[in-house]
């Protein structure tokens, strides 16, 4: 059984078919059997997000067992960690380039398309790159992107408070003398 990841957006994400001869990050339309999965999303466009493994198994994730999410770091090797990092970065780049304010992500075991989420979280796009981040099986995420992410809003507010009034709106020019 494989972990699979889906993204809900306002506009379709660019499709990138999976090529088993040159495995890479992929984006595809839902198959007929995945259509029941649409009920979990509020966004009109839902697409399958594949990792370099063809499924979502090369994304960092934890499984839901006996009411808890479990993960065994000691079972990972450098190849797995590198694949996860590559796929995390590819996902972040895709979402950043989408020009969406927010994207919905939902990860499940392949075929488990009717089970409702066991967790809902709102996170920033940057959170997907944190070394300890792992998608929760049956975890539904609202990912805030760009200027709309919580971390970015907090940084901008802190900068506005710390910037003297006479400097606000002034770019950072370099003296050419």
**Poorest-confidence range of 76-80, 83-87, 146-150?**
146-150
Instruction: Tell me the three state secondary structure of residue 49.
Output: strand
Sheet strands side by side (includes 139-144) = 26-28, 45-50, 3-9, 102-109, 139-144, 119-124
Quote the pLDDT of residue 148.
47
Q: Which stretches of the chain are assigned E, i.e. beta strand? A: 3-9, 26-28, 45-50, 61-65, 68-70, 102-109, 119-124, 135-136, 139-144
Quote the pLDDT of residue 131.
87
Tens digits of residue pLDDT in 121-135 = 999 999 999 988 999
If pLDDT is split at 50, 70 and 90, which confidence band does 72 have? low
Q: In b/e form, how buried is each residue of 126-149, taking b as 16+ CB within 10 angstroms?
A: bbbeeeeebbbbbbbbebbbeeeb
Tens digits of residue pLDDT in 12-52 = 999 999 999 998 999 999 999 999 989 999 999 999 999 99
Instruction: State how far the Cα of 85 lies from the Cα of 111, in Å rounded to an integer.
Output: 25
Give me the mean pLDDT over the 145-172 stretch.
50
Q: The pTM is what?
A: 0.79
């Amino acid at each position: 059984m494989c972990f699979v990841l889906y993204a809900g957006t306002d506009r379709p994400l660019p499709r990138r078919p999976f090529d088993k001869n040159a495995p890479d990050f992929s984006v595809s339309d839902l198959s007929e059997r995945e259509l029941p999965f649409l009920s979990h999303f509020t966004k009109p466009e839902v697409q399958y997000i594949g990792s370099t493994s063809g499924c979502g198994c090369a994304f960092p994730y934890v499984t839901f067992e006996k009411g808890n999410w479990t993960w065994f770091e000691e079972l990972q090797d450098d190849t797995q960690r590198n694949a996860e990092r590559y796929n995390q970065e590819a996902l972040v780049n895709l979402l950043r380039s989408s020009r969406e304010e927010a994207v919905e992500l939902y990860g499940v075991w392949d075929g488990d398309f009717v089970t409702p989420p066991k967790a809902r979280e709102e996170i920033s796009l940057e959170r997907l790159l944190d070394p300890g981040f792992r998608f929760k099986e049956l975890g539904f995420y609202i990912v805030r992107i760009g200027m709309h992410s919580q971390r970015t809003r907090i940084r901008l507010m802190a900068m506005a408070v710390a910037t003297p009034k006479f400097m606000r709106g002034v770019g950072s020019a370099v003296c050419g003398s």
